Structure 1
Amino acid sequence: MAITIPSTSTNGHTNGHTNGHTDSPHHPIVIAGGGCVGLFLALLLSHSAIPNRILVIEPFPPDPTSTRAIAHQPPTYPILSRVPGLLEELLQTGSLSSGLCFRTSVANGSKVIAEKRFSNGEVSGVLMKRLDVLGRDKVEVRVGWKVVGFEQSETSVRVDIVPTSSSSPSLAGEGQNHPQQEQEHLEAAYLVGADGAHSTIRKIFDVDFSGETLDAQLVATDIHFDFKSHSFHDANFIIDSLHYGHISRIADSGLWRVSYSIPLGLSEEEIKQGVDAKLKGMLPNGGMNEMGEKMYEVVRVAPYKAQQRCVETFVKGRVCLVGDAAHLTNPYAGLGLASGMADASSLATVLAQILTHQASDEEALLKAWSEDRRKKFFEVVDKPSRMAYKRVRQDVSTDEKIQGLLSRDPMVGALKKGMPVMPPSLQTVEKELKGW
């Protein structure tokens, strides 16, 4: 992992080059956010023909228990395959899901309603190692730094960064609140916000983030528990009117994500106090062994609101947004990370076309890319995700009600019959965009 502190020139501005040269005509591309989406974008750009270096600014070291480590589902496979050998490496490390299913809650017998096995680690770690091999002359990941502001001109973007330890807890983007000596400045060709749901870049971007908050408070708990001994798939969508949720493998070490819903309005302390009671309704045997001993360990509790939102534009000048920084969706269709990876994949191709001077109209191409990604969100992500949210909240407490679900839900019914279930493509056809 390339973890470095930016070198500073005599005028107090970072030059963006590890060799100290300041006369290079090619400013780096700066990516704010070193999660799966940001690292994948960096990897794609570093494999392209662009002359620019890639700088990833990430506030915190990689965390194997974070959402960034969740195993990838089949919709991401064609996207991941754009990097030679990456899909195979992720397969070997166990970073790809081996199967998914819809099942009833444990209160209703944890019956598998429909399932699909895939013929097939930790994703961020694999991406980081690949970037490290390329060397800092091409790509660099700066961990422990945070973007707090930017200002763009027609030819570049000045990006203000500070060490994470000195970051103010005030609103993102208030870089002027930091002492000048703590700030560093990067001159970038483009700035990409891949910094998640609470994106600093989006806040400074000042763009409409319209949509809605769904009518339930969700809680993501990361726990150690032996779900495999209870025949759970890597991805399990629990359908129940009360104990609905999502249970997914994070790592082969036995770390799993258990997401569930609770009533709105509970305090953070009330949420934490209710974790064990809720897990009792989600885990086989209530998470206990025959002696009544607790067989799980909770390592993280993260409440969040289920959102269906998308920015009005992914691009303003030389600043772009991808992944959760650009759009949010509930987890019950498994399309959040997949759509973010598709954003990164298409943006890498578009930027490569621009930075190698092959685009017929650079501004029109970025605008067309933005419009296509918004269209993909509303047609391919938003609608199926809303349907999935309704699906998991249904009552399937009897065999008759299960049969009713199979008959009226095309996706679950097709999965039950063993038919391939592939959503419409998340990918943008870049060559068809205006300005290409």
Structure 2
Amino acid sequence: MAAPIGITRHNGTPPSPLPIVVAGGGCVGLLLAHLLTQSSVPNRVIASIALFHQNIPTNPSLPKVIEPEHPDPASTRAMVHQPLMFPLFARIGLMPELSRHGSFSSGLCFRTSAKNGSKFIAGKQFREGDKSQLLLPQGKFKEILMWKMEEVGHSEVRLGSRVVGFEEKSGSIEVRIHHEGGKEETIEAEYLIGADGAKSTIRKTLGLTFDGETLPNQLVATDIIYDFHAHGFFDANFIVDPDNYGLIGRIDDKGLWRVSYGVPNEFSEEEVRRDAEDKLRKMLPDGGKSGFEVKRIAPYKAQQLCVEKFWTGRVGLCGDAAHLTNPYAGLGLASGIADASSLAEVLIRVLSHQSSNPHKLLSSWSDARRQKFYTVIDKPSRMAYARVKNKVDTEDEIVALLARDPMVGALKKGMPAIPPPIETRGEELVGW
């Protein structure tokens, strides 16, 4: 095997390890790399050789993000950014670009299912200038991050490559990378970050397991063309019903909407696809009589899971590699972004030799993010999932929901609940 790649020195001494390898070039991995490239950390992170259709020369001293899939700018899997993340986006200069390519939600509401007339329960319309959700599909978000990283010029993104293993050494970690075409390479770094999603190779290699549970029903995310505005729907609509519950939300300004609903866990993907049209007709306000076009069907497990620790040795986990939550509180992507922002802050502190105790700081970050998941992400997400499964067939049942559910009740009074902080402040951690 060839000697591991590191930062080449020109005085005859052996190469030193690269600072960081990020495994996974999704929203969280790219944001982490972008934050690190904006710092003064020597040689930044470690990245790759292609920015979309533009080739750049491989440079071993640059940040490297290893991503097995080529980006799809049209991907809509995650589509909403919560206002609580806007201060971060503003601090790192992303907000103007995100706003230009996305749009802001004009309103959010809860309503009954179509069988009960899609009746309005509670909601809020947003005025221009209000802090509402930013609607920006994840494909475009990733594309913007790639553009920004290219502008800075301190990173590379290696597409079509994946981390297949790693081994800790004294003072470094050797990361094995498999490239398209079968070639393999070993890179030596100080730290490896697993941002490689729910099926994380990094997490599995560490032998770490998830705590938590898979919820009783799987969810199906469909993207359809349908004029919900013509039926009085807001940009975001939570449908409350024991059977036909879900979320209906605008994705873009071209008529594309997300309709999310639940099906039994035992349904196969074939059954989900076969029954999708019938299920959608039960979700649409006119039963679909005015016509609709299905663009995408994506079933997935509704899970509340968190890894036992976010950091071990020289390896960290963030985003879906570290935790999973159902989407009905809108905190999945937001929590991953909060992981990345705080981890970047901590890594910069460590790599610039400013930390009073790097080991304790990284361990403290791990504990803090795990605590944030259980106090700020998990509980509200479970409540949001349970909320849409309420029975509201009668006016009395609607009144009862408004009385017992603080979020829906507050929304009815025009006072939407303010979520607690989702980010972790580095200076509050042990070892800072």
Per the TM superposition, whether the score is higher than 0.5 is yes
RMSD: 2.3
Residue in structure 2 matched with residue 221 of structure 1 by the alignment:
222
More displaced stretch, 251-260 vs 190-199: 251-260
Do the aligned residues in 1 keep the contact of 2:240 with 2:246 (CA within 8 Å)?
Answer: yes
Residue in structure 2 matched with residue 6 of structure 1 by the alignment:
none
Whole-angstrom distance in 1 between the partners of 2:325 and 2:253: 26
Deviations 1:91-149 (A, max 9, x none): 221155443222222222223322232445432222121111112xx111111111111
Whole-angstrom distance in 2 between the partners of 1:228 and 1:329: 29
Is 1:42 equivalent to 2:33 in the alignment?
A: yes
Residue type of the partner of 1:150? F
Which residue of 112, 122, 139 maps to 2:155? 139
Is 1:102 equivalent to 2:93 in the alignment?
A: no
Deviation at 1:325, TM superposition (A): 0.7
Relative to 1, partners in 2 of residues 1:34 and 1:227: Cα closer, same or farther, differing over 3 Å?
Answer: farther
Residue in structure 1 matched with residue 50 of structure 2 by the alignment:
none
More displaced stretch, 280-289 vs 372-381: 280-289
Do the aligned residues in 1 keep the contact of 2:265 with 2:301 (CA within 8 Å)?
Answer: no
Relative to 1, partners in 2 of residues 1:187 and 1:251: Cα closer, same or farther, differing over 3 Å?
Answer: farther
Is 1:233 equivalent to 2:242 in the alignment?
A: no
Which residue of 70, 80, 92 maps to 1:83? 92
Deviation at 1:68, TM superposition (A): 4.9
Q: Secondary structure at the match of 1:313?
A: coil
Is 1:113 equivalent to 2:121 in the alignment?
A: yes
Residue type of the partner of 2:100? Q
Do the aligned residues in 1 keep the contact of 2:66 with 2:157 (CA within 8 Å)?
Answer: yes
Deviations 1:43-62 (A, max 9, x none): 11111121123211111122
Whole-angstrom distance in 2 between the partners of 1:412 and 1:22: 65
Residue type of the partner of 2:21? V
Do the aligned residues in 1 keep the contact of 2:19 with 2:351 (CA within 8 Å)?
Answer: no
Residue in structure 2 matched with residue 61 of structure 1 by the alignment:
70
Residue in structure 2 matched with residue 175 of structure 1 by the alignment:
none
Residue type of the partner of 1:310? C
**Unaligned segments of structure 2, at least 5 residues:** 45-61
Deviations 1:59-90 (A, max 9, x none): 11222453554121223223323313x12221
Whole-angstrom distance in 1 between the partners of 2:104 and 2:185: 38
Residue in structure 2 matched with residue 31 of structure 1 by the alignment:
22
More displaced stretch, 75-84 vs 416-425: 75-84
Residue in structure 2 matched with residue 208 of structure 1 by the alignment:
209
More displaced stretch, 305-314 vs 187-196: 187-196
Relative to 1, partners in 2 of residues 1:187 and 1:408: Cα closer, same or farther, differing over 3 Å?
Answer: same
Aligned residues: 402
Do the aligned residues in 2 keep the contact of 1:308 with 1:329 (CA within 8 Å)?
Answer: yes
Deviations 1:369-403 (A, max 9, x none): 00000110011111111111110100112222222
Relative to 1, partners in 2 of residues 1:23 and 1:115: Cα closer, same or farther, differing over 3 Å?
Answer: farther
Do the aligned residues in 2 keep the contact of 1:33 with 1:57 (CA within 8 Å)?
Answer: yes
Residue type of the partner of 2:258? R
Q: How does 1:217-296 map to 2 (within 5 A)?
A: 217-289=218-290, 294-296=291-293
Whole-angstrom distance in 2 between the partners of 1:47 and 1:405: 47
Residue in structure 1 matched with residue 405 of structure 2 by the alignment:
409
Q: Secondary structure at the match of 1:128?
A: helix
Residue in structure 1 matched with residue 145 of structure 2 by the alignment:
127
Do the aligned residues in 1 keep the contact of 2:17 with 2:188 (CA within 8 Å)?
Answer: no
Deviations 1:175-216 (A, max 9, x none): xxxxxxx21222222111111111111111211211111111
Relative to 1, partners in 2 of residues 1:149 and 1:226: Cα closer, same or farther, differing over 3 Å?
Answer: farther
Q: How does 1:377-396 map to 2 (within 5 A)?
A: 377-396=373-392
Relative to 1, partners in 2 of residues 1:191 and 1:233: Cα closer, same or farther, differing over 3 Å?
Answer: farther
**Unaligned segments of structure 1, at least 5 residues:** 1-9, 167-181
Q: How does 1:328-367 map to 2 (within 5 A)?
A: 328-367=324-363
Deviation at 1:39, TM superposition (A): 1.3
Deviation at 1:27, TM superposition (A): 0.6
Residue type of the partner of 2:430? K
TM-score by length of 1: 0.86
Deviations 1:273-313 (A, max 9, x none): 00101111112322332xxxx322x2322221111111110
Is 1:157 equivalent to 2:166 in the alignment?
A: no
Q: Secondary structure at the match of 2:80?
A: coil
Relative to 1, partners in 2 of residues 1:252 and 1:230: Cα closer, same or farther, differing over 3 Å?
Answer: same
Residue in structure 2 matched with residue 316 of structure 1 by the alignment:
312
More displaced stretch, 233-242 vs 342-351: 233-242
Whole-angstrom distance in 2 between the partners of 1:403 and 1:156: 60
Do the aligned residues in 1 keep the contact of 2:112 with 2:120 (CA within 8 Å)?
Answer: yes
Residue type of the partner of 2:357? D
Residue type of the partner of 2:174? R
Whole-angstrom distance in 1 between the partners of 2:171 and 2:301: 38
Relative to 1, partners in 2 of residues 1:54 and 1:78: Cα closer, same or farther, differing over 3 Å?
Answer: same
Residue type of the partner of 1:60? E
Do the aligned residues in 2 keep the contact of 1:60 with 1:164 (CA within 8 Å)?
Answer: no
Do the aligned residues in 2 keep the contact of 1:12 with 1:184 (CA within 8 Å)?
Answer: no
Deviation at 1:26, TM superposition (A): 5.4
Relative to 1, partners in 2 of residues 1:80 and 1:201: Cα closer, same or farther, differing over 3 Å?
Answer: same
Do the aligned residues in 1 keep the contact of 2:6 with 2:189 (CA within 8 Å)?
Answer: no
Q: Secondary structure at the match of 1:187?
A: strand
